[in-house]
């Protein structure tokens, strides 16, 4: 499954490690359904979804600077709109 690497402008410390990048995979219908089941608050639902797609704990997403959270939102929207989601043409 395709992933997009996101370089954090403001790295965070999680479990004694400095996290400088996150890798977000493309969402599936199942990811959307799982996030929707667990959270009635739209902001928490999105945090849950992003944590799942980046394979980190929700607390890691909570610790992000808003600039970096905005990057996650951009990548996610890119997946939904087709930007950043099409494979490079074969030579």
Domain boundaries, the chain: 3-10+29-81
> Is the CB of residue 74 less than 8 Å from the CB of residue 7?
no
Distance CA 88, CA 11 (A): 29
Q: What is the pTM of this model?
A: 0.84
> Is the CB of residue 6 less than 8 Å from the CB of residue 72?
yes
pLDDT digits (tens, 9 = 90+) for 35-89: 887 667 889 999 999 999 999 999 999 999 999 999 999 999 999 987 654 444 4
């Amino acid at each position: 499954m395709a992933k997009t690497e996101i370089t954090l402008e403001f790295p965070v410390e999680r479990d004694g490690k400095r996290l400088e990048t996150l890798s977000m995979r493309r969402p599936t219908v199942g990811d959307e359904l799982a996030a929707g089941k667990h959270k009635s608050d739209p902001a928490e639902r999105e945090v849950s979804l992003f944590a799942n797609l980046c394979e980190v704990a929700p607390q890691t997403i909570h610790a992000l600077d808003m600039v970096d959270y905005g990057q996650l939102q951009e990548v996610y929207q890119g997946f939904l709109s087709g930007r950043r989601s099409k494979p490079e043409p074969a030579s």
